[in-house]
Amino acid sequence: MQNMLGPKCKELEGEIKSLMKVWFSIIASLCYCYFISSNIPKGKLRLLSLTPVLCLFTFLPLQLSYVLPTGITAFLITWLTSFKLILFTFDLGPLSSNPPKSLPFFLSFACLPLRGITQNQNQPYPSNQTHQNHSKDNVRKEKLHFIIFPIKALLFGVLLMGLNDHKQKLNHTVIVGLYCILVYLLVDIVVGLCNIVANAALGIELELPSNEPYLSTSLQEFWGRRWNLIVTNLLRHTIYIPVRTALSRTVLGPQWASVPGVMASFVVSGIMHELLFYYVTRAAPTWEVTCFFVLHGGCVVVEFCVMKWLGVGHKGMLHWAISGPVTVVFVVATAVWLFFPPLLRDGADERALEEFRNLVDCIKETF
Protein backbone atom coordinates (compact mmCIF):
# COMPACT_ATOMS: atom_id res chain seq x y z
CA MET A 1 0.00 0.00 0.00
CA GLN A 2 2.83 2.39 0.89
CA ASN A 3 4.49 1.83 -2.49
CA MET A 4 1.25 2.82 -4.24
CA LEU A 5 1.12 6.23 -2.54
CA GLY A 6 2.19 9.31 -4.51
CA PRO A 7 5.08 11.58 -3.44
CA LYS A 8 2.73 14.10 -1.82
CA CYS A 9 1.11 11.39 0.30
CA LYS A 10 4.52 10.07 1.34
CA GLU A 11 5.49 13.61 2.33
CA LEU A 12 2.31 13.87 4.40
CA GLU A 13 3.02 10.50 5.98
CA GLY A 14 6.51 11.71 6.94
CA GLU A 15 5.04 14.84 8.54
CA ILE A 16 2.60 12.74 10.58
CA LYS A 17 5.48 10.58 11.83
CA SER A 18 7.46 13.70 12.78
CA LEU A 19 4.40 15.08 14.57
CA MET A 20 4.04 11.85 16.56
CA LYS A 21 7.74 11.97 17.57
CA VAL A 22 7.41 15.60 18.65
CA TRP A 23 4.37 14.92 20.82
CA PHE A 24 5.97 11.81 22.31
CA SER A 25 8.87 14.04 23.38
CA ILE A 26 6.40 16.56 24.83
CA ILE A 27 4.56 13.91 26.88
CA ALA A 28 7.84 12.40 28.12
CA SER A 29 9.12 15.85 29.15
CA LEU A 30 5.92 16.67 31.02
CA CYS A 31 6.11 13.32 32.85
CA TYR A 32 9.58 14.38 34.00
CA CYS A 33 8.09 17.67 35.23
CA TYR A 34 5.35 15.79 37.08
CA PHE A 35 7.51 13.13 38.75
CA ILE A 36 10.82 14.99 39.24
CA SER A 37 10.44 18.78 39.11
CA SER A 38 7.28 18.84 41.23
CA ASN A 39 9.27 17.29 44.13
CA ILE A 40 11.91 20.04 43.97
CA PRO A 41 11.29 23.11 46.15
CA LYS A 42 9.68 25.99 44.29
CA GLY A 43 11.87 28.82 43.10
CA LYS A 44 15.32 28.82 41.53
CA LEU A 45 16.03 25.09 41.95
CA ARG A 46 12.76 24.08 40.28
CA LEU A 47 13.33 26.63 37.51
CA LEU A 48 16.78 25.12 36.96
CA SER A 49 15.24 21.64 36.66
CA LEU A 50 12.67 22.93 34.14
CA THR A 51 15.17 24.85 31.98
CA PRO A 52 16.05 21.85 29.72
CA VAL A 53 12.32 21.25 29.11
CA LEU A 54 11.72 24.91 28.24
CA CYS A 55 14.68 24.81 25.81
CA LEU A 56 13.36 21.60 24.24
CA PHE A 57 9.90 23.09 23.77
CA THR A 58 11.50 26.01 21.91
CA PHE A 59 13.31 23.60 19.59
CA LEU A 60 10.58 21.01 18.87
CA PRO A 61 8.44 23.01 16.36
CA LEU A 62 11.50 23.20 14.09
CA GLN A 63 11.14 19.43 13.56
CA LEU A 64 7.89 20.04 11.65
CA SER A 65 7.42 21.57 8.21
CA TYR A 66 3.66 21.83 7.54
CA VAL A 67 2.10 25.19 8.42
CA LEU A 68 -0.81 24.13 10.64
CA PRO A 69 0.92 21.34 12.63
CA THR A 70 3.91 23.64 13.20
CA GLY A 71 1.83 26.66 14.18
CA ILE A 72 -0.55 24.76 16.47
CA THR A 73 2.25 22.84 18.21
CA ALA A 74 4.24 26.04 18.72
CA PHE A 75 1.17 27.86 20.06
CA LEU A 76 0.17 25.09 22.47
CA ILE A 77 3.61 24.02 23.67
CA THR A 78 6.26 26.68 23.03
CA TRP A 79 3.95 29.43 24.26
CA LEU A 80 1.14 28.19 26.49
CA THR A 81 2.80 25.17 28.11
CA SER A 82 6.10 27.00 28.65
CA PHE A 83 4.31 29.88 30.38
CA LYS A 84 2.37 27.42 32.55
CA LEU A 85 5.65 25.76 33.54
CA ILE A 86 7.08 29.16 34.48
CA LEU A 87 4.10 29.66 36.81
CA PHE A 88 4.57 26.08 38.05
CA THR A 89 8.10 27.07 39.08
CA PHE A 90 6.56 29.22 41.84
CA ASP A 91 3.63 26.87 42.63
CA LEU A 92 1.23 29.06 40.68
CA GLY A 93 -1.07 28.51 37.72
CA PRO A 94 -3.16 25.56 36.54
CA LEU A 95 -0.38 22.96 37.02
CA SER A 96 -0.12 23.62 40.76
CA SER A 97 -2.71 22.40 43.23
CA ASN A 98 -3.03 21.04 46.73
CA PRO A 99 -3.44 18.09 46.74
CA PRO A 100 -1.47 17.57 43.50
CA LYS A 101 -3.32 16.72 40.31
CA SER A 102 -3.20 13.20 38.92
CA LEU A 103 -0.90 12.61 35.93
CA PRO A 104 -3.74 12.66 33.31
CA PHE A 105 -5.01 15.97 34.70
CA PHE A 106 -1.49 17.41 34.84
CA LEU A 107 -0.81 16.43 31.21
CA SER A 108 -4.16 17.78 30.07
CA PHE A 109 -3.74 21.15 31.76
CA ALA A 110 -0.12 21.35 30.54
CA CYS A 111 -0.71 20.42 26.87
CA LEU A 112 -4.18 21.76 26.22
CA PRO A 113 -5.36 25.38 26.32
CA LEU A 114 -7.23 25.02 29.61
CA ARG A 115 -7.27 27.78 32.18
CA GLY A 116 -7.76 25.58 35.22
CA ILE A 117 -10.24 25.91 38.04
CA THR A 118 -9.70 28.85 40.34
CA GLN A 119 -11.44 29.10 43.67
CA ASN A 120 -11.65 31.82 46.26
CA GLN A 121 -9.51 30.75 49.19
CA ASN A 122 -11.69 32.70 51.60
CA GLN A 123 -14.72 30.65 50.54
CA PRO A 124 -13.56 27.04 50.04
CA TYR A 125 -17.10 25.71 50.19
CA PRO A 126 -19.56 27.66 48.03
CA SER A 127 -23.15 28.01 49.11
CA ASN A 128 -25.83 25.78 47.61
CA GLN A 129 -27.32 28.69 45.69
CA THR A 130 -23.92 29.64 44.26
CA HIS A 131 -23.24 26.01 43.35
CA GLN A 132 -26.63 25.70 41.62
CA ASN A 133 -26.09 28.91 39.64
CA HIS A 134 -22.58 27.75 38.70
CA SER A 135 -23.91 24.36 37.56
CA LYS A 136 -26.67 25.98 35.48
CA ASP A 137 -24.13 28.30 33.90
CA ASN A 138 -21.87 25.34 33.05
CA VAL A 139 -24.75 23.40 31.48
CA ARG A 140 -25.74 26.44 29.41
CA LYS A 141 -22.09 26.97 28.39
CA GLU A 142 -21.66 23.31 27.35
CA LYS A 143 -24.86 23.33 25.27
CA LEU A 144 -23.81 26.57 23.59
CA HIS A 145 -20.32 25.20 22.90
CA PHE A 146 -21.61 21.97 21.33
CA ILE A 147 -24.01 23.94 19.11
CA ILE A 148 -21.55 26.61 17.97
CA PHE A 149 -18.45 24.42 17.54
CA PRO A 150 -19.66 22.33 14.53
CA ILE A 151 -21.03 25.48 12.87
CA LYS A 152 -17.64 27.18 13.16
CA ALA A 153 -15.84 24.04 11.94
CA LEU A 154 -18.17 23.82 8.92
CA LEU A 155 -17.76 27.52 8.14
CA PHE A 156 -13.96 27.18 8.42
CA GLY A 157 -13.99 24.28 5.94
CA VAL A 158 -16.26 26.11 3.50
CA LEU A 159 -14.12 29.28 3.57
CA LEU A 160 -10.93 27.25 3.20
CA MET A 161 -12.31 25.38 0.19
CA GLY A 162 -13.60 28.63 -1.28
CA LEU A 163 -10.17 30.23 -0.96
CA ASN A 164 -8.56 27.12 -2.36
CA ASP A 165 -10.73 27.22 -5.48
CA HIS A 166 -11.25 30.93 -6.12
CA LYS A 167 -8.35 32.82 -4.53
CA GLN A 168 -6.99 34.02 -7.89
CA LYS A 169 -10.31 35.74 -8.64
CA LEU A 170 -10.59 37.59 -5.33
CA ASN A 171 -9.41 41.09 -4.44
CA HIS A 172 -6.44 41.31 -2.06
CA THR A 173 -8.51 43.16 0.57
CA VAL A 174 -11.22 40.49 0.41
CA ILE A 175 -8.58 37.75 0.81
CA VAL A 176 -7.05 39.39 3.90
CA GLY A 177 -10.54 39.94 5.32
CA LEU A 178 -11.23 36.22 4.88
CA TYR A 179 -7.92 35.46 6.59
CA CYS A 180 -9.10 37.49 9.61
CA ILE A 181 -12.23 35.34 9.81
CA LEU A 182 -10.19 32.13 9.33
CA VAL A 183 -7.77 33.07 12.14
CA TYR A 184 -10.70 33.72 14.48
CA LEU A 185 -12.34 30.42 13.53
CA LEU A 186 -9.07 28.46 13.71
CA VAL A 187 -8.26 29.68 17.23
CA ASP A 188 -11.79 28.88 18.40
CA ILE A 189 -11.75 25.45 16.72
CA VAL A 190 -8.35 24.43 18.14
CA VAL A 191 -9.14 25.63 21.67
CA GLY A 192 -12.71 24.35 21.47
CA LEU A 193 -11.64 20.90 20.28
CA CYS A 194 -9.13 20.66 23.14
CA ASN A 195 -11.86 21.62 25.58
CA ILE A 196 -14.22 18.98 24.20
CA VAL A 197 -11.54 16.26 24.44
CA ALA A 198 -10.70 17.27 28.02
CA ASN A 199 -14.38 17.35 28.94
CA ALA A 200 -15.08 13.92 27.41
CA ALA A 201 -11.97 12.21 28.82
CA LEU A 202 -11.65 13.80 32.26
CA GLY A 203 -14.88 15.69 32.89
CA ILE A 204 -13.09 19.06 32.92
CA GLU A 205 -15.52 21.96 32.60
CA LEU A 206 -15.78 23.52 29.15
CA GLU A 207 -14.65 27.09 28.63
CA LEU A 208 -15.50 29.16 25.57
CA PRO A 209 -12.22 30.08 23.81
CA SER A 210 -13.52 33.51 22.81
CA ASN A 211 -16.52 35.55 23.84
CA GLU A 212 -17.89 36.99 20.59
CA PRO A 213 -14.99 39.42 19.94
CA TYR A 214 -16.88 40.99 17.02
CA LEU A 215 -19.25 42.54 19.61
CA SER A 216 -16.46 44.46 21.37
CA THR A 217 -17.15 48.14 21.98
CA SER A 218 -13.59 49.04 23.05
CA LEU A 219 -10.06 47.73 22.69
CA GLN A 220 -9.99 47.01 26.43
CA GLU A 221 -13.03 44.82 26.03
CA PHE A 222 -11.67 43.12 22.89
CA TRP A 223 -8.27 42.16 24.33
CA GLY A 224 -9.25 41.76 27.98
CA ARG A 225 -12.64 40.04 27.97
CA ARG A 226 -13.48 38.72 24.52
CA TRP A 227 -10.55 37.59 22.30
CA ASN A 228 -8.58 34.37 22.95
CA LEU A 229 -9.37 34.21 26.65
CA ILE A 230 -6.85 31.43 27.37
CA VAL A 231 -3.90 33.59 26.24
CA THR A 232 -5.38 36.65 27.96
CA ASN A 233 -5.64 34.78 31.26
CA LEU A 234 -2.09 33.39 30.95
CA LEU A 235 -0.54 36.79 30.13
CA ARG A 236 -2.45 38.32 33.00
CA HIS A 237 -0.84 35.96 35.52
CA THR A 238 2.65 35.67 34.01
CA ILE A 239 3.26 39.29 32.90
CA TYR A 240 0.59 41.80 33.90
CA ILE A 241 0.15 40.96 37.60
CA PRO A 242 3.90 40.60 38.40
CA VAL A 243 4.74 43.90 36.63
CA ARG A 244 1.84 45.74 38.23
CA THR A 245 2.68 44.34 41.67
CA ALA A 246 6.37 45.29 41.36
CA LEU A 247 5.68 48.82 40.13
CA SER A 248 2.84 49.55 42.56
CA ARG A 249 5.51 50.06 45.22
CA THR A 250 7.18 52.83 43.15
CA VAL A 251 6.20 56.42 42.47
CA LEU A 252 3.53 55.16 40.07
CA GLY A 253 1.55 53.68 42.93
CA PRO A 254 -1.14 51.01 42.59
CA GLN A 255 -3.40 53.38 40.62
CA TRP A 256 -1.12 53.73 37.58
CA ALA A 257 1.05 50.60 37.87
CA SER A 258 -1.39 48.77 35.58
CA VAL A 259 -0.28 50.94 32.61
CA PRO A 260 3.25 49.45 32.28
CA GLY A 261 1.72 46.05 33.11
CA VAL A 262 -0.57 46.34 30.08
CA MET A 263 2.28 47.48 27.81
CA ALA A 264 4.55 44.67 29.02
CA SER A 265 1.81 42.11 28.26
CA PHE A 266 1.38 43.40 24.72
CA VAL A 267 5.14 43.50 24.09
CA VAL A 268 5.55 39.88 25.27
CA SER A 269 2.55 38.85 23.16
CA GLY A 270 4.16 40.50 20.13
CA ILE A 271 7.48 38.73 20.70
CA MET A 272 5.75 35.36 21.09
CA HIS A 273 3.82 35.95 17.85
CA GLU A 274 7.11 36.77 16.11
CA LEU A 275 8.44 33.41 17.32
CA LEU A 276 5.32 31.59 16.09
CA PHE A 277 5.62 33.30 12.71
CA TYR A 278 9.28 32.30 12.52
CA TYR A 279 8.39 28.65 13.06
CA VAL A 280 5.84 28.83 10.25
CA THR A 281 7.81 30.90 7.72
CA ARG A 282 11.43 30.16 8.77
CA ALA A 283 12.18 33.78 7.80
CA ALA A 284 13.94 36.39 9.93
CA PRO A 285 11.50 38.52 12.00
CA THR A 286 10.50 41.86 10.52
CA TRP A 287 8.98 43.01 13.86
CA GLU A 288 5.80 44.12 12.15
CA VAL A 289 3.78 41.80 14.39
CA THR A 290 5.43 43.23 17.49
CA CYS A 291 4.57 46.73 16.22
CA PHE A 292 0.95 45.59 15.82
CA PHE A 293 0.75 44.56 19.47
CA VAL A 294 2.71 47.57 20.74
CA LEU A 295 0.31 49.82 18.80
CA HIS A 296 -2.71 48.10 20.33
CA GLY A 297 -1.13 48.18 23.78
CA GLY A 298 -0.56 51.93 23.43
CA CYS A 299 -4.13 52.44 22.26
CA VAL A 300 -5.49 50.40 25.18
CA VAL A 301 -3.43 52.55 27.58
CA VAL A 302 -4.69 55.78 25.97
CA GLU A 303 -8.25 54.45 26.08
CA PHE A 304 -7.82 53.52 29.75
CA CYS A 305 -6.35 56.93 30.66
CA VAL A 306 -9.06 58.87 28.81
CA MET A 307 -11.84 56.84 30.44
CA LYS A 308 -10.23 57.29 33.85
CA TRP A 309 -9.82 61.03 33.29
CA LEU A 310 -13.44 61.44 32.17
CA GLY A 311 -14.70 59.11 34.90
CA VAL A 312 -16.56 56.75 32.56
CA GLY A 313 -16.72 52.98 32.90
CA HIS A 314 -15.84 50.17 30.52
CA LYS A 315 -18.90 50.94 28.39
CA GLY A 316 -17.12 54.06 27.22
CA MET A 317 -18.21 57.43 25.95
CA LEU A 318 -19.86 56.44 22.66
CA HIS A 319 -22.97 54.42 21.97
CA TRP A 320 -22.26 50.75 21.24
CA ALA A 321 -23.64 51.15 17.70
CA ILE A 322 -20.72 53.50 16.99
CA SER A 323 -17.94 52.19 19.24
CA GLY A 324 -18.52 48.57 18.19
CA PRO A 325 -17.91 48.97 14.43
CA VAL A 326 -15.07 51.45 15.08
CA THR A 327 -13.30 48.91 17.33
CA VAL A 328 -13.69 46.00 14.91
CA VAL A 329 -12.64 48.08 11.89
CA PHE A 330 -9.56 49.32 13.77
CA VAL A 331 -8.52 45.77 14.72
CA VAL A 332 -9.02 44.44 11.18
CA ALA A 333 -7.36 47.45 9.49
CA THR A 334 -4.26 47.28 11.69
CA ALA A 335 -4.11 43.50 11.19
CA VAL A 336 -4.15 44.01 7.41
CA TRP A 337 -1.40 46.62 7.79
CA LEU A 338 0.93 44.89 10.27
CA PHE A 339 -0.18 41.40 11.31
CA PHE A 340 -0.72 39.48 8.06
CA PRO A 341 2.02 40.86 5.73
CA PRO A 342 4.83 38.69 7.19
CA LEU A 343 2.79 35.56 6.52
CA LEU A 344 1.66 36.65 3.05
CA ARG A 345 5.11 37.87 2.05
CA ASP A 346 6.72 34.50 2.76
CA GLY A 347 3.89 32.50 1.19
CA ALA A 348 2.71 30.77 4.37
CA ASP A 349 -0.89 31.14 3.23
CA GLU A 350 -0.13 29.52 -0.14
CA ARG A 351 1.70 26.68 1.60
CA ALA A 352 -1.23 26.11 3.95
CA LEU A 353 -3.68 25.95 1.03
CA GLU A 354 -1.35 23.59 -0.86
CA GLU A 355 -1.08 21.34 2.19
CA PHE A 356 -4.88 21.33 2.45
CA ARG A 357 -5.14 20.27 -1.19
CA ASN A 358 -2.54 17.52 -0.60
CA LEU A 359 -4.51 16.24 2.38
CA VAL A 360 -7.73 16.07 0.37
CA ASP A 361 -5.97 14.36 -2.55
CA CYS A 362 -4.32 11.80 -0.25
CA ILE A 363 -7.63 10.95 1.37
CA LYS A 364 -9.16 10.43 -2.07
CA GLU A 365 -6.16 8.39 -3.19
CA THR A 366 -6.29 6.19 -0.09
CA PHE A 367 -10.01 5.47 -0.13
pLDDT, residue 308, reads 77
What interhelical angle do 128-166 and 348-366 show, nearest 10?
90
pLDDT, residue 169, reads 83
Q: How far apart are CA 264 and CA 259, in angstroms?
A: 9
By C-alpha distance, which of 37, 8, 29 is closest to 81? 29
Per-residue pLDDT reduced to its tens digit, 154-170? 999 888 888 877 888 88
Per-residue pLDDT reduced to its tens digit, 249-265? 887 777 788 899 999 99
Residues in the chain with pLDDT values less than 70: 1-5, 116-146, 205-207, 311-317
Q: How far apart are CA 278 and CA 71, in angstroms?
A: 9
